[in-house]
Amino acid sequence: MIKIGITGGIGAGKTTVCKELEKMGYPVFYSDDEAKNLMVENAEVVKQITALFGEDAYIDGQLNRVHLAKQIFTNNKLRESLNQIVHPAVRRAFVEWSEAQDAELVFNEAAILFETGQYKTFDYTVLVTAPTSIRIDRVVKRDNTTPEEVQKRIDNQWSDEEKIKLSSFVIVNDGKREILPQLDQIISQIKENISSE
């Protein structure tokens, strides 16, 4: 089984690409969704988050996102500690999920694949990119936020230039180039590589 990581900055359109892959019949594991589930449903993760952020970390069994966001956006150490709780749990969940799939290729959508070094665990990585102005527009509409807020989040992430150096493939999601032909080409290339090994 070939494991392929799919990543991209905020608003680049990772989910759009993953939905196309699912339509093509490929299984996709959504790391960010899984992380959100684990932070509420996994007793060990909940215990560690509560120890790190205090009793206010949860309200009625739900994650107090406002409380956490306030702390991690101003404190890199805390953000790092949270990542060290959540990321290993997500990795374990992906391994279990992969073992249950019978597809030749499986995909893992993750926002910070390169930043965590996680990309090294995949056979290939696909980076989804889009011009910054388009990304800002998308996120403003999606999250009902301001362009300034989105820019701050973009500034906190690695640049596409840094990520491209580590990517196996790049998809441009700028609203002009169609996603499907780009995906077809990438999958053909991967399958060629498999058959020539």
73: Cβ contacts below 8 Å, ≥ 6 apart:
79
Q: What is the pLDDT of residues 118-164, one digit of tens each?
A: 899 999 999 999 999 999 999 999 999 999 999 988 888 899 999 99
**pLDDT value of residue 7:** 96
- At residue 29 the predicted structure's pLDDT band, cuts being 50, 70 and 90, is very high
The reply to whether the predicted model has a pTM over 0.85 is: yes
Q: How is residue 92 written in tokens?
A: 């374990």
Structural domains of the chain in order of their starting residue, each with its CATH number: 2-196 (3.40.50.300)
Among candidate residues 188, 61, 74, 55, the one with its CA nearest the CA of residue 124: 188
Query: How open is the CA angle 137-138-139, to the nearest 5 degrees?
Result: 95
Res 73: pLDDT: 79
**Alpha helices per DSSP H over the chain:** 14-23, 31-41, 43-53, 65-74, 76-99, 132-143, 147-156, 160-166, 179-196
Query: So what's the pLDDT on residue 121?
Result: 94
Using DSSP's 3-state secondary structure scheme, residue 28 falls into: strand
pLDDT at 197 over 90: no
